[in-house]
Amino acid sequence: MPKKQKIVTGAYIAFAALFAVAPVSNAMHIMEGYLPTGYCVAWGVICLPFLIAGFTSLKNKVKENRKNLTLIAMSGAFIFVISSLKIPSVTGSCSHMTGTGLGAILFGPAAVSVLGIIVLIFQAVLLAHGGLTTLGANTFSMAVAGPLVTFCVYKLCRTAKADRRVSVFLAAFLGDIFTYCVTSIQLALAYPSEAGGVAASAVKFLGVFAPTQLPLAVIEGILTVVIVIGLETYARPELRSIGFLSDRKEA
Amino acid sequence: MLLIDRLSCQSKLRYINASVKLMYAVLTLALCVLSRSAAVAALVFAVNGILTAGKGGIPLSLYIKLLTVPLAFLIAGTAAVTINISGEPLDAFAVPVGEWYITGSSAGICQAFRLCATALGAVTCLYFLSLNTVMTDILAACRKLHMPPLLLELTLLIYRFIFVLLKTGTAIMTSQQSRLGNRDFRTRVRSFGLMGSSLFILAVKRSNALYDAMEARCYDGSLKVLSREYPARRRQFAFVILFELFLGGVWFWCG
């Protein structure tokens, strides 16, 4: 018995240590080739209405004012760069933000769905985070579901007259957590557990990714707050140009 | 700046027609994922390794280093697929913990092995494309597939801006570090936030400047970029088709 316990403890320590030495512990991108074909296609199809809605809204924005094209493109690049720069982490491993939460607060969920898929393509091709076959699933979790939650929470907190910082933190934090839950469920649907089916499998995936994702969500929330505060202090005209401050009288 | 992008410019396969490379990568990827067979995956892994590191001249050490990027996800995900916590032990292994068992079945292990092989094979397909093809060539190939022009324009602009912003962001971070901006966790968080907000300001400023520059050069709502053509050779097409047929055969016979 003690020997077996030793094995279990050893295995767990090895598993935990893995996250300290792994080259990148990233926001949850499902790896290339990890989902069966049916699921790849299905998630892509689910994303389609959101992408079309986002695309139409972008098209209208560009038609309205041609200047918006460069602004939208810059916003997309901003999301990519924010998500590819190393953020301060507690464990010392190299981790990154999703960036889509900040994007959803600043640019709205419709724009982020299209920008998100472009950013995800770049992350797959330039950074090897995620992949082409899993693009649909990743888009749904990171560019559709997460930003939608972020945006709804943010609007809800604002209408409830919550403190701006608190609402930004909650929005980014919950959006990140939701992304992580959706990804776990996506994996669980594709790989149901032999003992307990999809639900048990979802718990397993949630558990396995918890050590990296929970601290990351907190840090992402804090960083989003700090960035938004910085923007409100120094970048009022720029925020107005993207329509972030237009609804406020004092701005 | 970005390792993969830099390597793709150095690759010896860079000037091969992008459509051919795109077709090869996508078809191989599709076959690899559709078949989910270890034999196909192993073959794809080997051939892509030879093509990228051998023919493409990408340094082997860097190629191996890049292959370890998705490793953390692979190991964690595969652990979740194989290991079960259940009241009853399964056939392959079972470690009792209190009343429960940490257990797994041999079918599960078999599945996990196939999954790892497929995922690694698929990753090499992605690397073949991204390490041997410059992003602008991929976009030009997509243009031939009649993707929405607005989307492609946006992608092209974002691709360009990524490097501009990344350079600015890295420079800001370097100067923050040289001024003790990463002294402790609090300062680090604050520095990152400041970097993010000033990056945003610079991004908006640059996008305005770029718009002015484009307007001064008769921008009428669409970007037109000349791209050089590298005609596809018949031999390359034949190689791609033969290889895909061969892969299909391996899938059919080895399962």
Q: DSSP characters for B222-238?
A: ---------PPPHHHHH
Determine which of B192, B217, B219, B224 to mutate to test the interface with A (most A C-beta atoms within 10 Å).
B192
Identify the pLDDT of residue A23. 45
pLDDT in tens, A93-131: 667 788 888 888 888 888 899 999 999 999 999 888 888
Average of per-residue pLDDT across A223-235: 88
Identify the pLDDT of residue A250. 42
Q: Alpha-carbon distance A91 to B192, whole Å?
A: 17
- CB contact under 8 Å between B119 and A31, yes or no, is yes
Q: Are A138 and A122 in contact (CB under 8 A)?
A: no
User: Which residues on B lie below 8 Å from A81 (Cβ)?
Assistant: 162, 165-166, 169, 199
Q: Are A168 and A225 in contact (CB under 8 A)?
A: yes
User: Which residues on A lie below 8 Å from B5 (Cβ)?
Assistant: 126
pLDDT in tens, A181-208: 999 999 999 988 877 788 888 888 888 8
- CB contact under 8 Å between A223 and B196, yes or no, is yes
Residues 6 or more apart whose CB falls under 8 angstroms from that of B217 comprise none
pTM for the structure as a whole: 0.88
Taking CA atoms, A152 is separated from A145, A213, B161, in Å, by 11, 21, 29
Q: Alpha-carbon distance B156 to B142, whole Å?
A: 11
User: At CB < 8 A and 24+ separation, what contacts does B44-49 make?
Assistant: B44/B121, B44/B122, B44/B124, B44/B125, B44/B247, B45/B117, B45/B120, B45/B121, B45/B124, B47/B243, B48/B121, B48/B124, B48/B125, B48/B127, B48/B128, B49/B124
Count A/B contacts: CB-CB distance under 8 Å: 268
Q: Mapped to the 3 state alphabet, what secondary structure does A41-105 carry?
A: HHHHHHHHHHHHHHHHHHHHHHHHCCHHHHHHHHHHHHHHHHHHCCECCCCCCCECCCCHHHHHH
Q: Alpha-carbon distance B26 to B129, whole Å?
A: 9
User: Which residues on A lie below 8 Å from B36 (Cβ)?
Assistant: 36
Q: Are B52 and B127 in contact (CB under 8 A)?
A: yes
Between A82 and B227, where is the model more confident? A82
Q: Are B89 and A36 in contact (CB under 8 A)?
A: no
Other beta carbons less than 10 A from residue B54's beta carbon: 13
User: Which residues on A lie below 8 Å from B182 (Cβ)?
Assistant: 88
Residue window 51-110, chain A: list those with CB within 8 Å of chain B.
Answer: 55, 58-59, 62, 66-67, 69-78, 80-82, 84-85, 87-88, 90, 102
Q: Are B181 and B187 in contact (CB under 8 A)?
A: yes
Between A146 and B232, where is the model more confident? A146
Identify the pLDDT of residue A2. 66
Tokens of B32: 């690899």
Strand partners, B93: B104
- CB contact under 8 Å between B157 and A69, yes or no, is yes
Measure CB to CB from residue B165 to each of A36, A69, A81 and give the nearest one. A81
Strand partners, A193: A197
Q: Alpha-carbon distance A83 to A224, whole Å?
A: 12
Identify the pLDDT of residue A251. 37
Does residue A16 sit at the B interface (CB-CB below 8 Å)? no
Q: CB-side exposure of A145: number of CA atoms within 13 Å?
A: 22
Does residue A227 sit at the B interface (CB-CB below 8 Å)? yes
C-alpha A173 chain-centroid distance: 10
- CB contact under 8 Å between A125 and B138, yes or no, is yes
Is the pLDDT reported for residue A173 higher than 90? yes
What is the pLDDT tens value at each position of chain B, 255 positions in all?
A: 788 888 988 888 888 888 899 999 999 999 999 988 889 999 999 999 999 998 888 899 999 988 888 887 888 888 888 888 777 777 777 777 777 777 888 888 888 888 999 999 999 999 999 999 988 888 888 888 888 888 888 899 999 899 999 999 999 999 998 998 888 888 888 898 899 999 988 988 888 898 899 889 888 767 777 777 788 888 988 999 999 999 999 888 886
pLDDT in tens, A11-20: 666 665 555 5
- CB contact under 8 Å between A37 and B151, yes or no, is no
